[in-house]
Chains A and B, each alone.
Chain A
Amino acid sequence: QVQLQESGPGLVKPSETLSLTCIVSGYSISSGYFWGWIRQPPGMGLEWIGGIYDGGGTYYNPSLKSRLTISLDTSNQFSLQLRSVTAADTAVYYCARVGGYCSGINCPDSYFDPWGQGTPVTVSS
């Protein structure tokens, strides 16, 4: 059974870098699939952040691309770095395994299963 668990600081100061890690158990991320991040601001809906393939290829939300890096780490985990954060980046951050497929710059079949439990991040001084 695949399980994902986010970890990282719950509080980040404005203009600093938010760093989160997703630890995967029950499946080797080097064996395939696409691994992604989604966030949910307080009381609001879901926003796709981006994802990374087992081979290291990445897909980013264009609105975040200039501040974003998603990478594969050792020990079966992947991470997110979001630079120059503001209060608008305050949200619950989820990691998830992404099913479906991508072709070129498009991912016509993208669905998220399973999800981590989420980690709340507040951007405040």
Chain B
Amino acid sequence: QSVLTQPPSVSAAPGQKVTVSCSGSTSNIAINYVSWYQQLPGTAPKLLIYDNNQRPSGIPDRFSGSKSGTSATLGITGLQTGDEADYYCGTWDSSLSHVVFGGGTKLTVL
């Protein structure tokens, strides 16, 4: 069971918007930075968002991140079939003294 809680799956139609939630606690999300990763089938994870809401160079602005209290959210607008992937949130847990990840959310673009 993961320290961070994500919905197992989300879905939406092409062109629509979807959000992926990541719920944590006062020892992780509330006080540390959150990052988000996209894992396309059969490939390594790729950084989408770091420092809660920053996009690395080359990541389109269709992807956004936010944080409030003990929860974080990844938003994806203008959905494309190529966005079908597993999405993971991650952060440091100051009580456990290590990086923790969510269990992952599978995005289906209908």
Contact = CB atoms under 8 A, between A and B. Distances in A.
Interface of A: 38, 45-48, 50, 59-62, 94, 99-100, 105-118
Contact of A112 (B47, B97, B98): B47
A107 B102 CA distance: 17
Given A45-B2, A110-B92, A115 B103 contact: no
Contact of B101 (A48, A116, A118): A48
**Chain A binding surface SS class:** strand
A118 B44 contact: yes
Interface string B72-108: 0000000000000000101110101111111110000
By CB atoms of chain A within 10 A, which of B35, B43, B51, B88 has the most? B35
Contacts of A38: 45
Contact of B44 (A50, A107, A117): A117
A111 B104 CA distance: 16
Interface residues of B, number: 28
Given A94-B45, A112-B37, A112-B45, A106 B102 contact: no
Contacts of A117: 43-44
Contact of A106 (B47, B94, B100): B94
Contacts, number: 80
Interface string B47-81: 10011000010000000000000000000000000
Contacts of B2: 45
Given A47-B101, A48-B98, A99-B50, A115 B44 contact: yes
A116 B104 CA distance: 19
A48 B87 CA distance: 16
B88 A110 contact: no
A125 B68 CA distance: 48
20 contacts: A45-B2, A45-B88, A45-B103, A46-B101, A61-B98, A61-B99, A99-B50, A100-B33, A106-B92, A106-B94, A108-B31, A109-B32, A110-B91, A110-B99, A111-B47, A112-B35, A112-B45, A112-B47, A115-B44, A118-B44
**Which 9 pairs from chain A and chain B are nearest by CB?**
A48-B99, A113-B47, A111-B35, A111-B50, A115-B44, A46-B101, A108-B32, A109-B33, A61-B98
